[in-house]
Amino acid sequence: MRYDALRCATLSKAEVQRMLTTKSIRLTDEELADLREYLDISGEVEAVALKRAAVRGIRELRLAEAIRVYLEERDSEHASHIAGLPRAQFLQVLTDKGISVLEGQSSLASEMEGLARRFGDRRLAQAAIEVEPVGV
């Protein structure tokens, strides 16, 4: 966000206005009172608070949709794309929320097989075949 502000500072007003889009929202009296109370408490500028709230809300919506898709499809790559997060970070979010990321038991061999298929690595596939599960 700071980078954008610095970048905009070096551009002409016309260039900045071409980059930005104005949106408007309608608030109920109760929502407006809530906003005003927050602004009084925080001392924040209304436009900045509304933009931060919108951006935060969009992130939350994307994450909620991504979790829904993940629970239905069990495709963490697709779901992480919806969330706008790297896959590892999305998986961490799932774990933090207590959502299982593994279906059933996992073994080193099955994980290696999956990676071998994903990357088309025959040597890894062969190594997966040679790995014996622990306790067998």
Write down the pLDDT at residue 128: 84
Q: Output the DSSP codes for 11-48.
A: S-HHHHHHH---------HHHHHHHHHHHHHH---HHH
Query: Is 123 contained in some domain?
Result: yes
53 and 109, same domain (yes or no): no
Query: Is 20 contained in some domain?
Result: no
pLDDT in tens, 53-73: 999 999 999 999 999 999 998
34 and 72, same domain (yes or no): yes
Write down the pLDDT at residue 69: 95
Per-residue confidence band for 5, with pLDDT thresholds at 50, 70 and 90? low
Write down the pLDDT at residue 105: 60
90 and 128, same domain (yes or no): no
Distance CA 80, CA 16 (A): 31
Give the mean pLDDT of the chain: 85
83 and 109, same domain (yes or no): no
Across the range 19-37, mean pLDDT stands at 93
Query: Is 9 contained in some domain?
Result: no
Query: Is 1 contained in some domain?
Result: no
SS3 for 72-111, per residue? Answer: HHCCHHHHHHHHCCCHHHHHHHHHHCCCCCCCCCCCHHHH
Per-residue confidence band for 114, with pLDDT thresholds at 50, 70 and 90? confident
Distance CA 67, CA 61 (A): 10
Distance CA 102, CA 78 (A): 16
97 and 67, same domain (yes or no): yes
Across the range 82-96, mean pLDDT stands at 94
Tokens of 28: 């109920």
Domain that holds residue 80: 29-101
Query: Is 94 contained in some domain?
Result: yes
Number of domains in the chain: 2
113 and 135, same domain (yes or no): yes
Tokens of 96: 């933090």
